[in-house]
Amino acid sequence: MDLIYRPRRLRRTASLRSMIQENTLSASDFIYPLFVHEGKDVQPIGAMPGINRWSLDSLLKEAERAWNLGIKCVVLFPKISESLKTEDGVECFNEKGLIPRAIRLLKKELPEMTVMTDVALDPYSSDGHDGIVSSEGVVLNDETIVNLCKQALVQAQSGADLIGPSDMMDGRVGAIREALDDEGFEHVGIISYTAKYSSAYYGPFREALDSAPKALNAKPIPKDKSTYQMNPANAREARIEAHLDEQEGADILMVKPGLAYMDIIYRLKQESDLPIAAYNVSGEYSMIKAAAAKSWIDEKAVVLETLLSFKRAGADLILTYHACDAAQWVRDV
DSSP 89: -
Cβ contact 153:230 at 8 Å: no
The Cα–Cα gap between 254 and 284 comes to 16
Length of the chain: 333
Per the annotation, the verdict on 269 as an active-site residue is no
Phi first, then psi, for residue 200 (nearest 5°) are -80, -5
Q: Name the amino acid, one letter, at 311.
A: K
Catalytic entry in 79, 85, 196, 311: 196
Contact partners, residue 207, CB within 8 Å, separation at least 6: 45, 46, 47, 48
The Cα–Cα gap between 74 and 71 comes to 8
The Cα–Cα gap between 298 and 287 comes to 13
Contact partners, residue 3, CB within 8 Å, separation at least 6: none
Cβ contact 331:70 at 8 Å: yes
How is 61-75 classified by DSSP, letter by letter? Answer: HHHHHHHHTT--EEE
Q: CA distances (Å), 134 to each of 46, 140, 223, in order?
A: 33, 7, 14
Phi first, then psi, for residue 164 (nearest 5°) are -115, 90
The Cα–Cα gap between 147 and 90 comes to 7
Catalytic entry in 79, 85, 225, 256: 256
Residue 88: alpha-carbon gap to chain centroid? 23
Per the annotation, the verdict on 256 as an active-site residue is yes
User: What is the maximal distance between C-alpha atoms in the chain?
Assistant: 77
Known catalytic residues are: 196, 256
